[in-house]
Chains A and B, each alone.
Chain A
Amino acid sequence: MIKSKMGAMVTVASSGGGGHIYRLDTSTDALF
């Protein structure tokens, strides 16, 4: 998981299953 130094977004790399890369908005706890 990588969080930008400024801002609310976290990038999540998931190596299992479909190998998706997600974005997590920490202001809403929403995963995209």
Chain B
Amino acid sequence: MWTSIKAAIQESGLMAITFLILILGGAARLVAQSEDGELWVTSQGTNRLFVVHDTGASIETLHLPAGAGPHITTFSPSGQHAYVSGMGNGALFIIRADDRQVVQTLVLGTAGTHQAKPSPDGTVLLVAQIPSMTLIKVAANEAMESWSVVGSLSLAPLAKSPVCTVYRDDGRRAYVSLRPSGIAIVDVPTMTLLGTLPTDGFSRAA
């Protein structure tokens, strides 16, 4: 049975990342579409990823560590790597898209890593870490398959947590939805909070 339904459509860099809802049994899943038409479906409750081919004609299963709680998948603009956030254990799993290998795992907290959003040029990820109320900046080097934390912005003074990020086209400014409400405007090079915009709030469901 479905326990929740979430859907969004998001576009990033060279490819469209489309979140859909699929019924594969169990809880609702967040789905991202890769460049070649695969659908990557996270199963947060079972620590698995499903890669769906040809509208379900075949499905691969990727197993993540127990407790990972994979939540949102994004792809680098090149399509070479997938970024899978761990709501269960706070990790960010970086997966080579072609062979499905986890090439690096960043431990960014003990739980609640919600979304990793690559910049338009793919060199930066902004990762929303909900429990610590921190937006984490990760430098991405896809050619070397190396990712490292290079900065952060604490939103604790606002008593708000980052949820999801979009970038201005030049990648130098980011807009981060906040829980329970508002949007943070962030200067990406310096990870400085430039201001906030009021909204009437976002769902508390992660």
B86 to chain A: closest CB distance in Å?
21
Q: At the interface, is chain B mostly helix, strand, loop or mixed?
A: strand
Q: Is the CB of A15 within 8 A of B166?
A: no
Interface string of B164-185 (1 = CB under 8 A from A): 1111110001010100110101
Shortest Cβ distance from B180 into A: residue: A16
> For the side of the interface on A, what is the size category?
20 to 34
CB pair A2–B203 under 8 Å, yes or no, is: no
Q: Which residues of A contact B (CB under 8 A)?
A: 1-5, 7-8, 10, 12-20, 22, 24, 26, 29, 31
Q: Can you offer 8 A-B residue contacts whose CB atoms are under 8 A?
A: A1-B8, A1-B166, A5-B11, A5-B16, A12-B177, A13-B8, A26-B168, A31-B197
In the complex, the chain A residue whose C-beta lies closest to that of B194 is A29
Which of A8, A16, A19 is the one whose CB lies under 8 Å from B181?
A: A16
Residues of B within 8 A of A (CB): 8-11, 16, 164-169, 173, 175, 177, 180-181, 183, 185, 194-195, 197-204
Contact A2 B9 (CB under 8 A): yes
Find out whether the CB atom of B11 lies under 8 angstroms from the CB atom of A16.
Answer: no
Kindly list chain B residues whose C-beta atoms are within 8 Å of the C-beta of A12. 177, 183, 199
